[in-house]
Amino acid sequence: MVAWMTPGTVENPVDFGFRTVSMANKPRLVRALFDDVAARYDLMNDLMSVGVHRLWKAAMIDWLAPRAPARFLDVAGGTGDVAFRILERLSAAGPNAADDAAVTLVDASEAMLGTGRDRALDAGIARGLDWVRGDAEDLPIDDGSIDYYTIAFGIRNVARIDRTLEEAFRVLKPGGRFLCLEFSHVLLPALGIAYDAYSFRVLPALGEIVTGNREAYRYLAESIRRFPDQRTFAAMIGDAGLAQIKVRNLSGGIAALHSAWRI
Ligand SMILES: C[S@@+](CC[C@H](N)C(=O)[O-])C[C@H]1O[C@@H](n2cnc3c(N)ncnc32)[C@H](O)[C@@H]1O
């Protein structure tokens, strides 16, 4: 069966970049894409953002201000960048400060999880981090059990953003924190023109050289354009029941942080 078709021929159509696929098919397509690029994913992140994704993730952890004892859930956690940073930040408070933290990383791609586990071994991170294969739309996590829910560059890839946000609400404890880092909409038109040229010309070519998968990085550029703008996404977070929503733009809106709480 063809993976994508024109709207109208697809049951429950959703975006897959600029294409339309059935809601049932999207998770498989996304998983296959990340399985394929997993081994070169981190290198490609550094190259395509010239390291800037590290600054965005640092800004995320600064705003999260994690404290233990607590239970952390990093959804679509991939190769572990955010989870490692949470543990690192906790450890900075003292030699045993991370001992009371339980960090669970959930991701749909076994290959991304495998690359992440190898990174953890290389970095000597043996404790405090649980790697779980699972779906952001149907988390294998108990109701009201999480103090901090994070998701970085993950929610753009799910089939149903609203369902993913409802799951975030479900698993958070009352008083728990939601923090999402995602590509967003640039605020300056001049920046937008340069960014478009970079995204649609340079990125797929670089993706092909580094990962051998041009389509994956074309999908990246397209999926960013399809993702709701800052204000719309904030409203969706509110619709899921989360409160005190705040937005911080990063690099002129190329990325944004959305913070909220379960009250
Ligand atoms: C762009 S990567 C982000 C990885 C990591 N959070 C980071 O910032 O480097 C997106 C990740 O989302 C995962 N993903 C996509 N759809 C998912 C879903 N429905 N449930 C869980 N993980 C998903 C992919 O497997 C991939 O590892």
pLDDT single digits (tens) 31-60: 999 999 999 999 999 999 999 999 999 999
Which band of pLDDT confidence, cut at 50, 70 and 90, is reported for residue 1? very low
Q: Is the CB of 109 under 6 A from ligand 1?
A: yes
**Among 216, 195, 171, residue whose Cα is nearest residue 41:** 216
Choosing from 57, 72, 103, 109 the residue with most ligand 1 atoms within 8 A of its CB, the one to mutate for a pocket test is 109
Ligand 1: which residue has its CA nearest to atom 13? 76
Question: What backbone torsions phi and psi does residue 197 show, to the nearest 5 degrees?
Answer: -60, -45
Q: Is the CB of 131 under 6 A from ligand 1?
A: no
Residue 201 counted as domain residue: no
Alpha helix positions (H), the chain: 26-37, 41-49, 52-64, 81-91, 110-123, 161-171, 189-197, 203-211, 214-226, 230-239
Q: pLDDT tens-digit profile of 247-263?
A: 999 999 999 999 999 99
Range of the domain at 83: 37-188+217-261
Q: pLDDT tens-digit profile of 10-19?
A: 889 999 999 9
Ligand 1: which residue has its CA nearest to atom 26? 78
Distance spanning both ends of the chain, measured CA to CA:
45
pLDDT in the model for residue 11 = 87
Residue 87 counted as domain residue: yes
pTM for the structure as a whole: 0.95
Q: Is the peptide bond before 13 cis (omega within 30 degrees of 0)?
A: no
pLDDT in the model for residue 6 = 55
Q: Is the CB of 204 under 6 A from ligand 1?
A: no
Residue 105 counted as domain residue: yes
Residue 203 counted as domain residue: no
Chain-centroid distance, C-alpha 85: 14
Chain-centroid distance, C-alpha 50: 19
Name the percent of the chain lying above pLDDT 90. 89
Residue 10 counted as domain residue: no
Q: Is the CB of 56 under 6 A from ligand 1?
A: no
Residue 119 sits in a domain of what CATH number? 3.40.50.150
Average pLDDT of 125-149? Answer: 95
Whether pLDDT at 7 is above 60:
no
Whether pLDDT at 246 is above 50:
yes
Q: Is the CB of 153 under 6 A from ligand 1?
A: yes
Rounded CA separation 68/72 (Å): 9
Average pLDDT of 65-85? Answer: 97
Q: What average pLDDT does the chain have?
A: 94
Residue 62 counted as domain residue: yes
CA of 112 to the centre of ligand 1 (A): 8
Number of structural domains in the chain: 1
Which band of pLDDT confidence, cut at 50, 70 and 90, is reported for residue 206? very high
Question: What backbone torsions phi and psi does residue 22 show, to the nearest 5 degrees?
Answer: -80, 150
Q: Is the CB of 152 under 6 A from ligand 1?
A: yes
Whether pLDDT at 162 is above 70:
yes
Residue 182 counted as domain residue: yes
Rounded CA separation 171/241 (Å): 12
Whether pLDDT at 243 is above 50:
yes
pLDDT in the model for residue 189 = 86
Whether pLDDT at 174 is above 70:
yes
Range in 19-28, 91-100, 175-184 with the lowest mean pLDDT: 91-100
Q: Is the CB of 16 under 6 A from ligand 1?
A: no
Residue 26 counted as domain residue: no
pLDDT in the model for residue 190 = 87
Rounded CA separation 171/160 (Å): 17
pLDDT in the model for residue 10 = 83
- b or e along 190-203 (b: 16 or more beta carbons within 10 Å of the residue's beta carbon)? eeeeebeeebeeeb
Whether pLDDT at 8 is above 60:
no
Provide the pairing of β-strand 129-133 with 172-183.
Answer: unpaired
Output the six-digit token pair for 25. Answer: 């098919």
Choosing from 15, 30, 119 the residue with most ligand 1 atoms within 8 A of its CB, the one to mutate for a pocket test is 30
